[in-house]
Amino acid sequence: MAEAASKQRRIAVVWLMLEGGQVSQGGVARYVENLLRAQDSIRAEWLAHDYEIDFILGEPFYRENAAGYDAQRWQRVVTHLAERGGRAVRLVSDSDGIEQWGGDRFFHALSAAGAQLVLETAERYDGVIAISGTSAFAQVAGMVQRLGGPLAERILHVHTFGLATHETALPPSPAEIAADGDVAFWTRQTPNVTVAYISDYTARLYERTYAIPRRSLLPNRSGIPLDDPLFTLLDKNTVAKRLAPLGLPDEGRLAVMWGRNSAPDLDKGYHLLLEAAADVPGVVPVIANRRPAPDLQQYAERLGVQAVFLADQPFETISALLQSERTLAAAFLGEAEPGAVSPMEAMWVTRRSGAVVIAADTGNLPELVDGGRAGILTARTGTAVAEALRTAQAMTGEERTRMRETAADVVREHCDFLANIRDLVSSAVSRWSDL
């Protein structure tokens, strides 16, 4: 037993995230929840191979008045990790963040705090896998390599999510470009720095735009927890009960979009659905945003489109909309979707009934819908989206069932969060072992 214990290696996986532990809103928060749920399975798997893996979460120090701040949530995260040998750390950089300092100074300060956490962790472990999930932490890799001395040799850095796509109408911020360029530079200097792609699209993008060598790319495909109760199949009575309070019109087929509000630096394409509906009689757009969207409501009125606008709805409501027999399609029309997860959610909950997916030909959306087998591909124009809606209207029940089943197969095979996060950790541990 003593001999076996002596061979066991202790590795810390340090996740550097912009939010998720303290803030309860949005996709990053869901990602952190999924990560915590997967932790026990990953630790048990690697313990069988004589690796003791601890998880450490580092994120900025949020003030209690920050939007979505949840003190009880943070305490649950702290307790969950501590019970398993890990910890959760709030990194002090500047509590006013980008608002007061500007992006470049905020990114640099946050990366410095993250690098300090990574180096201090390396003093207590045989190795560290530092995973930065935002451009705000992208400079950690360079700081560790320049200043870490011998400790840097036992640290593998994996940067993921945060590389700007450069395919939005407005260019990324100078701070984001500089931070991403820094980590890309280090992938060409040392095997200790890598980038994890979240889709085939991002793998191509990283090689083309940032000249990141293929050997420096690891997999971290986007995914959803397939067994999450959120994705339970609903009976007709449950669907009807959840939809009753929404004020849906009695007539028309629904076309659903949901997610964060569009912003000057990120067009999610909601206006395209409204323009398309103006040309396709009988289609009622249902748009659910995090916050009210009066600009979209005014645009619908100018177009003469009867649409339903929802705000701050739980996924239970979205799931009912998607599974309703009235729903023609769920549309995903954003200009930049490097690793979109919401289409996966739609493709999974509709595996028995409801919407087919309409996806723009941007980012990872074409690969998700398997080039058109698991969903309807469209260009990002109102005219093209209108044609996609007509295609959905013309489909027979058998064709819709076949498309939904194909979509579910894609999610089952490629979008299982637990399988994908295991793949990332496995690739990272193997890479660290080879250093």
pLDDT at 1 over 80: no
pLDDT in tens, 21-56: 998 777 788 889 999 999 999 999 999 999 999 999
Structure tokens given for 159: 């940067």
Q: How far apart are CA 343 and CA 347, in angstroms?
A: 6
pLDDT at 3 over 50: no
For the segment 128-149, the average pLDDT, to the nearest whole number, is 97
pLDDT at 329 over 50: yes
Task: Quote the mean pLDDT of the chain.
Answer: 93
Give percent above pLDDT 70 in the chain. Answer: 95
What pLDDT is recorded for position 166? 65
For the segment 280-299, the average pLDDT, to the nearest whole number, is 96
For the segment 362-376, the average pLDDT, to the nearest whole number, is 96
pLDDT at 263 over 60: yes
Sequence ranges of the chain with CATH classification 3.40.50.2000: 9-223+417-434, 229-415
pLDDT in tens, 171-207: 778 888 899 999 999 999 999 999 999 999 999 999 9
pLDDT at 4 over 60: no
For the chain, the straight-line distance linking the first and the last C-alpha, in angstroms and rounded, comes to 28
What pLDDT is recorded for position 97? 56
For the segment 253-266, the average pLDDT, to the nearest whole number, is 88
pLDDT at 98 over 60: no
What pLDDT is recorded for position 30? 84
In degrees, to the nearest 5, what angle opens at C-alpha 41 toward C-alphas 40 and 46?
A: 100
CATH of 229-415, one of 3.40.50.2000, 3.40.50.410, 2.30.110.10, 2.40.50.100: 3.40.50.2000
What pLDDT is recorded for position 24? 77
pLDDT at 326 over 70: yes
Q: How many CA atoms lie within 13 A of 43 on its CB side?
A: 20
pLDDT at 138 over 80: yes
What pLDDT is recorded for position 96? 57
pLDDT at 418 over 80: yes
Confidence at 99, pLDDT banded by 50, 70, 90: low
pLDDT in tens, 47-86: 999 999 999 999 999 888 887 889 999 999 999 999 999 9
pLDDT in tens, 203-217: 999 999 899 999 999
pLDDT in tens, 212-255: 999 999 999 999 999 999 999 999 999 999 999 999 999 999 99
What pLDDT is recorded for position 325? 97
pLDDT in tens, 302-322: 999 999 999 989 999 999 999
Q: In the chain, what's the furthest Cα-to-Cα distance? A: 76
pLDDT at 109 over 50: yes
Task: Taking the CA atoms of 181, 182, 184 and 188 in sequence, report the sign of the dihedral they define.
Answer: positive
What pLDDT is recorded for position 68? 82
CATH of domain 9-223+417-434: 3.40.50.2000
Nearby residues of 64 by Cβ (< 8 Å), 6 or more positions away: 71
For the segment 380-390, the average pLDDT, to the nearest whole number, is 99
For the segment 148-158, the average pLDDT, to the nearest whole number, is 98
The larger pLDDT score, comparing residue 155 to residue 291, is at 155
- The pTM assigned to this predicted structure is 0.91
For the segment 339-356, the average pLDDT, to the nearest whole number, is 97
